[in-house]
Amino acid sequence: MAHDGSFLQYRSGNSPLHKLDPLTKLAGMLAFSFLAFGTYIAWMQSLVTLVVLLIAFIFGRFRVRDLIAATWFFGIACVGFIVIQSFTLPSSGPVLFRLFGHSFTTNTTGYAYAVGLRIYTIYLVSIIFIRTTSPRDLAVSITEGLKVPYRIAYSFFVAMRMIPLMQEEMAVIRAAQQVRGMGRRKGIRGQLQNLRQLMLPLLVRSMREAGTLVHSMESRAFGAFPTRTFTDVNRMKTKGKAITLALLALVVVWYVLVGLNIIHTQYIQ
């Protein structure tokens, strides 16, 4: 049904990444996003991607098949992006090869490749994070670690939990409207109408449920005190702190090197 893989959800497991606390993983996600962000040169971007993939396979125990299933769509989009950009951007640098009367140059094609791969990498990092971090652990750690008020963190977690239900709901609404003989309209105006007709029933239902949910939470004393106990929390330990510090250092060093022009992250134009 709708929640079998069509939506990126947490998958329970026992890998080192699963056992790592959410804050460290969050730091990791941000660190690798920043590393990927700073690079417009092909070999560096490849390096970042390779490291991310290795982490996924070794520490996340991802299976190749699952990772492909989760990212193939993006892979194709990125390849398309690379091809188109190579054609359309102004050429510079030595010619790599010629195709369809177009000269592909190291700098331009390299740039296109790096940007395309960057998109894929950032997506990949998000996937690794979501698949290995339970929403509750995330909510708990941003409450304890980042001092986000627990009412907000928990409400967000609850809303996330509702996603699979909402997706089923959306499928049902679409089916119901199909039974009514409703087609999908085109154009911006049509798209707006489609959206409204999808969102209103979806929200009516979700908000009706939210009313019950809020009553259920408050009748169990949710929000009665400024703090609450969290049982079985995956807290940041020495290992997590060390990893976070190392990642931070890596990002800082990376950007300092870039800033001092010691390493080049852009092709010189």
**Out of 96, 214, 250, 257, the residue judged to bind another protein by CB under 8 A:** 214
Residues that contact another protein, how many (by CB under 8 A) = 96
Identify the sign of the CA torsion 214, 216, 219, 225.
Answer: negative
Name which of 61 and 174 has its Cβ closer to another protein: 174
- Does residue 231 belong to the site contacting another protein (CB under 8 A)? yes
Q: How far is the CB of 124 from another protein (least distance, A)?
A: 9
- Does residue 7 belong to the site contacting another protein (CB under 8 A)? yes
- Does residue 163 belong to the site contacting another protein (CB under 8 A)? yes
Q: Which DSSP helix (H) or strand (E) runs through 68?
A: helix 64-88
User: Is 12:134 a contact under the CB 8 Å cutoff?
Assistant: yes
**Which of these ranges, 17-25, 50-58, 84-92, 98-106, lies near another protein under the rule CB under 8 A?**
84-92
Q: How far is the CB of 202 from another protein (least distance, A)?
A: 7
- Does residue 135 belong to the site contacting another protein (CB under 8 A)? yes
Q: How far is the CB of 242 from another protein (least distance, A)?
A: 22
DSSP string, 191-239: HHHHHHHHHHHHHHHHHHHHHHHHHHHHTTTTTSSS----SS-----HH
Give dist(CA 137, CA 26) in Å, integer.
12
User: Is 113:42 a contact under the CB 8 Å cutoff?
Assistant: yes
Q: How far is the CB of 181 from another protein (least distance, A)?
A: 5
- Does residue 159 belong to the site contacting another protein (CB under 8 A)? yes
Site string for another protein, 184-203 (x = CB under 8 A): ----x--xx--xxxxxxxxx
Beta strands in the chain (DSSP E): 95-99, 102-105
Segment 81-88 long-range contacts (CB within 8 Å, at least 24 positions apart): 81/112, 81/115, 81/116, 81/119, 82/109, 82/112, 82/113, 82/115, 82/116, 82/117, 83/112, 85/111, 85/112, 85/115, 85/116, 86/112, 86/113
Query: Of residues 17-36, which lie at the interface with another protein (CB under 8 A)?
Result: 29-30, 33
Q: How far is the CB of 179 from another protein (least distance, A)?
A: 5
- Does residue 154 belong to the site contacting another protein (CB under 8 A)? yes
- Does residue 176 belong to the site contacting another protein (CB under 8 A)? yes
**Out of 50, 64, 175, 242, the residue judged to bind another protein by CB under 8 A:** 175
- Does residue 208 belong to the site contacting another protein (CB under 8 A)? yes
- Does residue 258 belong to the site contacting another protein (CB under 8 A)? no
- Does residue 126 belong to the site contacting another protein (CB under 8 A)? yes
CA dihedral 85, 91, 93, 98 (to 10 degrees): 80
